[in-house]
A and B are shown apart, each in its own frame.
Chain A
Amino acid sequence: MTDAIAPAFVATADLSSPEAVQRRKRRYAADLRLRIYGVAAIATAIGLLGVLLLTLVIGGYSAFVQTHARIDFAIPAEQVNPADPAKANWRAIVAQGLQAVLPEAGSPAAQRAMGQILTNNTQFIVRDAVLRNPSVIGGTLTLDVPVADPFDQLQKGVIRRDTPEENRRVSDQQIAWFDALATQGRISTPFNWGLIFNADSRFPELAGLSGAIVGSFYALLVCFVVSFPVGIAAAAYLEEFAPKNRWTDIIEVNINNLAAVPSIVFGLLGLAVFIQIFGLPRSAPIVGGLVLALMTLPTIIIVTRNALKAVPPSIREAALGMGASRHQMIMHHVLPLALPGILTGTIIGLAQALGETAPLLLVGMNAFITSPPGGIMEASTALPTQIYIWADSPERGFVARTSAGILVLLAFLLVMNAIAIFLRQRLERKW
């Protein structure tokens, strides 16, 4: 048989005929084109990502350092009552401290212009330092104080010295003072820890992300505590117990649809239900967290169902065969085996929730608050909404800080995704 077919086959398909050669060439060319398209697509994606990161880094790196001025503040005992130091005229003490190192100012207007070199809240920074350490009363307190935003921008070259004086936020006289401080070695540009550890402020030189980081943490905590158990319970029921009928089909389709609902819709729902009906406080991480939980829930249910599906039926049958009840089978065998997959999906879902802005704007988590929240019921912002507020602020310093805030948010997302990948690689079992 084979002997008879083989010569016939060779005879009908002459691979060296000109038509066959041409056909082959066309097919190879099509192969090559497809491969080039793929490489081009990947290159475009990586290129765009690179451009995005590059613009963020170029725009934002300067916000990671902050110009400080080292000033020796005399704290005379006759001006600061040791019994009640908070009452003293701290603004005057700051002005005296500046005049001691820069003796040129004369008129009150010139003194005010000199005071603008340091951040407006210097008086409170000095006050708090003295309150923490009352032993300096009667002596001198040396502090590195952030300089005001225009001078920070001057030091970083954003405000240029060759701009005509009337078009610049800092006068020639102020620049002369600032340069005098610099020649005395009092100006330094250390890493801007304030960006991480300060709460929001209307002064760019003092504004930081701590309120937003704590707020995002609380919101994600609420989101996790609500969506994780609910999501697993729903998925376990649908996968292990639910009969296969029209109702479960409808539920399944709806869960899949829910995952695709735009997030702002969940924000409107949260506003109407959690705030207006349940009376939960506006701007609080609990409301933000509940809204994010609604958004994450379908993702977690879908991921959990897939993880449960991936556990081989033989495990279930073995457990049932050994006399385990269904709940023992699920709790002792199936869920623990599916857990790595569930956790991976949950972390990715939470990472998505961390970057979500629209629903948080609707429930008021874009407020201006100068202290981090003390709990899930206190008003706060979240990382993406903080970026949104900064992007809209007129001061120069916030332009760089917006990019820096995005970089911090991206760093958090990267860490969360890295944890998810780590969990998947270390714990997931293959059958």
Chain B
Amino acid sequence: MKIALYAGVAVLALFAGVAGAQAQTRDQIRIVGSSTVFPYTQAVAEQFAAATGGTAPVVESTGTGGGMQIFCGGVGVDHPDITGASRAMKKSEFELCVQNGVDSVTEVLIGYDGLSIAHSQQGPALALTKAQVFQALASEVEVNGAIVANPYKNWNEIDPSLPASAITVFGPPPTSGTRDAFVELVMLSGCADFPAIAALEGDRKEEVCERMRQDGPFIEAGENDNLIVQRLNADTNALGIFGYSFLYENSDSLKPVAVNGVEPSFETIADGSYSVSRPLYIYLKNAHKGVIPGLAEFVTEYVSEASFGEGGYLSERGLIPLPAEQRDATRAAVENSTAMAAPAK
């Protein structure tokens, strides 16, 4: 018993000692941020660790907003070096950074991510406009000039040319960055086509345009996109909303829905003709360059042609590469550690 007691005390003392020593230095790169950027950062991290034989970077998926909070917490080994974001940094986040001493941040645009609406290969080919998607999924819609609770249960009630099947759409929950992007890119521009809604002002307009319906046809399927894929295979009439990489990986069982006449593909997302896409960023803390071993090399690997260029290993994972001149601009910003200016909003 006594021996056990002494052993316990010794182990606890050891913990305390190790904890004290560890707090001073850090030899791996730490990365937080968006779950959309996560798979790409993962790919670069693994390539980097395998190629250099150095310590593997630690990549954590915290969501864009959560990542910004941790990233802007301060300068020093306790704070991460890079955060990924599926939207540009907001003004409030930039101010938080500056307030905590993180005043030199390089904004690195790494490429685009398409959001896709997809359904089973067995289902009929489908083309929707953003306005139709809005009518199918919003909690309130415009009917004959009046704004009423969404009455549509079947697609052909919205437009007679659409199939006579029930509206069933699996989508991401409100906590997801994919949901934010979907609302911004599809719902907001879809609701602009309706004069009575466009005439609304302020909060009320926001509410009508952004609220998803809660009466059944729109189903929040959790953060797990693989689950949505499985459900779409089980129900050929159902649609699902997720990142383009999931559609690309499952192209043998799923096919895309054309939005405003364009189907998502690498080409249509890169040239901007498929409009449901968003830019992806990583933000780099310049004060950590040269302090955290391998950080500069890691970012150089991230923006190398072999990684984020056309045919690079990130595009194999579903990232839509930037045009060549933009890639050069990104590389230059990384090399010169160009600090970003305060965002406008």
User: Chain A: residues with CB nearer than 8 A to chain B?
Assistant: 86, 112, 120-121, 124, 159-160, 163, 167-169, 201-203, 222, 225-226, 229, 279-283, 286, 331, 335-336, 364, 366-371, 375-379, 389, 391-396, 398-399
Contact = CB atoms under 8 A, between A and B. Distances in A.
A163 B19 CA distance: 55
Interface residues of chain A: helix, strand, loop or mixed (majority): loop
B226 A392 contact: yes
What 4 A-B pairs have minimum CB-CB distances, sorted nearest first? Answer: A367-B60, A368-B59, A370-B56, A379-B58
B344 interface: no
B39 A202 contact: yes
Nearest to A202: B42
B313 A120 contact: yes
Contacts of B245: 394
Nearest to A392: B224
B7 to A, nearest CB: 9
A160 B253 CA distance: 11
Interface in B247-275: 248-252, 255
A364 B59 CA distance: 10
B43 A279 contact: no
5 contacts: A167-B121, A168-B252, A169-B249, A226-B12, A394-B225
Nearest to B48: A370
A218 to B, nearest CB: 11
Given A86-B53, A392-B223, A366 B249 contact: no
A279 B23 contact: yes
A131 to B, nearest CB: 9
B252 A201 contact: no
A331 B45 CA distance: 52
A395 B249 contact: yes
A394 B60 contact: no
Interface in B40-56: 41-43, 45-46, 49-51, 53, 55-56
A124 B1 contact: no
Interface residues of B, number: 52
Contacts of B42: 202, 368
B146 interface: no
Given A282-B60, A366-B61, A229 B224 contact: no
Interface in B79-126: 121
Given A229-B5, A367-B60, A279 B78 contact: yes
B18 interface: yes
Contacts of B28: 378-379
Contacts of A203: 46
B15 A376 contact: yes
B252 A167 contact: yes
B49 A167 contact: no
B8 A121 contact: no
B313 A286 contact: no
Contacts of B155: none
Nearest to A221: B11
Contacts of A370: 45-46, 49-50, 56
A286 B15 contact: yes
Contact of A394 (B4, B39, B78, B223): B39
Contacts of A225: 8, 11-12
B281 interface: no
A346 B56 CA distance: 35
B318 interface: yes
B318 A201 contact: no
Given A392-B35, A394-B248, 18 more contacts: A86-B53, A112-B311, A124-B50, A225-B8, A229-B4, A279-B78, A282-B30, A368-B41, A368-B42, A368-B58, A370-B49, A377-B18, A377-B22, A378-B28, A379-B28, A393-B226, A394-B39, A394-B243
A112 B51 CA distance: 19
A280 B51 CA distance: 30
A377 B26 CA distance: 11
Given A368-B45, A391-B226, A399-B226, A281 B252 contact: no
B249 A394 contact: yes
B60 A364 contact: yes
Which of B18, B60, B243 has the most C-beta atoms of chain A within 10 angstroms of its own C-beta? B60
A389 to B, nearest CB: 8
B49 A371 contact: yes
B182 interface: no
A286 B12 contact: no
Nearest to A109: B311
Contacts of A281: 22-23, 26, 78
A208 to B, nearest CB: 13
A379 to B, nearest CB: 4
Contact of B225 (A112, A120, A369, A392): A392
Contact of A331 (B1, B12, B43, B251): B1
For B15, B243, B311, B318, the residue with the greatest tally of chain A CB atoms inside 10 Å of its CB is B15
Contacts of A169: 249, 251-252
B71 interface: no
A371 B56 contact: yes
B246 A394 contact: yes
Nearest to A91: B306
Nearest to B80: A282
Contact of B60 (A286, A368, A371, A378): A368
Contacts of A167: 121, 251-252, 255
A283 B56 contact: no
Contacts of B318: 394
Contacts of B251: 167-169
A344 B246 CA distance: 45
A86 B42 CA distance: 23
B38 interface: yes
Interface string B1-33: 100110010011001001100110010101000
